[in-house]
Copies of this chain bind each other. A is one copy, B any other.
Amino acid sequence: MPQFLNFADADFETLFAALLGAKREDSPHVDDTVAAIIADVCARGDAAVIELTEKFDRLCLTPETIAFSEAEIDAHCERVSAEDRDALELAAERIRAYHVRQMPQDERWIDPEGAELGWRWTPVSAAGLYVPGGLASYPSSVLMNAVPAKVAGVERLAVTVPTPDGVANPLVLLAARLAGVDEIYRIGGAQAIAALAYGTGSIAPVDKITGPGNAFVAAAKRRVFGKVGIDMIAGPSEILVIADKDNNPDWIALDLLSQAEHDESAQSILITDDADFGQAVAKAVEKRLETLERRAIAGASWRDFGAVITVPDLAAAAALSNRMAPEHLELCVADPEALSAAITHAGAIFLGQYTPEAIGDYVGGPNHVLPTARSARFSSGLSVLDFLKRTTLARMTPGALRAIGPAAERLAASESLQAHGLSVRARLEALNRDSG
């Protein structure tokens, strides 16, 4: 059974704080292993990558076969059914249409002093996308990472995906192709992250690495951060549903389970203003768990980290939600727009009872790579901005320099940075001579 909390109870604050603070993921001691792997790939390049792939994935590669050939990709893509291909294409199109709208504008203007100011956005030149192997090898994640990169204008987009025992996921390859990925390498783990960051004989280095992965991949991303950019380090998935009694308990139960089935460390929480409805949802969860394919995983997640919280009103629900800063937030209430206005921290909001979170995982259009573990307090889901950077621009005229240069000199003096001041002074003196 999940936890049942009631806002009205004396111990609510203690229990809720414990729920917020619950550590939901083991951090196995992988850092030393990862450091050694990265050093090995830096030192020996392809040879190290090939050796590690043989060891971990039981797959013999050569520098020539590290990358999938176009013909191999073709062959895999042809194995995908027409229905799956149609679904992937619809998803890719909708994700593209959403992310195109995120493209920021360049700006230039001249201010009252005559200074020309502005900024310009440019894409990262080369990006690497890590795709996990095995069970967590999700074609939808390929689209969610690769489409924004290509919308942003990334010229070279490389995917690494491990193929244990040589088994590739055709849908992953098709998703990469639909998204416009340029290179696909059949490697994984920390060795793939090292290869992307530092390059090898057959893999050119990239500037930014995104994509989910296990503890080894996450540790490797942390280590190469600085040498390259990385996206967030994602934790276990989580959903918060705020629902009033005018909902189908079974629908809400399925929404909670659709996070719980990801991972035993996932967290699904319901907040409702009707205690009976909360009980009905909990009952519906138990019923669905009887037949769910992933009932072992989903059941453990629900039992260990799930919760049903009863609140006196929806304002209290919004306040608790803001403290949790959930990755996914469903608002299944009569007026979801009004409740949404009270939400200050959330990765993604799903409005109304016809918007199950699973729509957002695949075909809604917004990105499904979202901040976990309360990090929506300070960060956002993946977007085109993750594959762009901004260069600021400034151009002074002699008049603008005369107007604001003396203040710069003054501040430079206050910071004891003499050359800073002199670089302005020398120009102003020349201008004064010329006009004098």
Contacts and interface: CB of A to CB of B under 8 A. Distances in A.
A350 interface: yes
A86 interface: yes
Counted per complex, copies of this chain come to 2
Interface stretch (A39-47, A52-60, A179-187, A415-423): A415-423
A125 B84 CA distance: 43
A335 to B, nearest CB: 12
B349 A427 contact: no
Contact of A83 (B207, B366, B383, B410): B410
A393 B344 contact: no
Given A116-B351, A363-B404, A407-B90, A207 B378 contact: yes
Interface residues of A, number: 122
Contacts of A107: 101
A67 interface: no
A226 interface: yes
A356 B250 CA distance: 66
Nearest to A135: B416
Given A90-B407, A420-B361, A354 B397 contact: yes
Interface string A351-364: 11111111111111
Given A117-B365, A135-B416, 7 more contacts: A83-B410, A254-B423, A258-B423, A351-B394, A356-B427, A362-B408, A366-B392
Interface of A: 83-84, 86-88, 90-91, 94, 97-98, 101-102, 104, 107, 109, 111, 115-117, 119, 122, 124-125, 135, 138-140, 171, 207-208, 226, 228-229, 233, 248, 250-251, 254-255, 257-258, 260-262, 288, 292-294, 298, 336, 340, 343-367, 370-371, 373, 375-381, 383, 385, 389-398, 400-401, 404-408, 410-412, 414-424, 426-427, 430
11 contacts: A288-B422, A293-B418, A298-B419, A349-B393, A351-B395, A353-B427, A354-B397, A359-B396, A359-B404, A360-B392, A383-B390
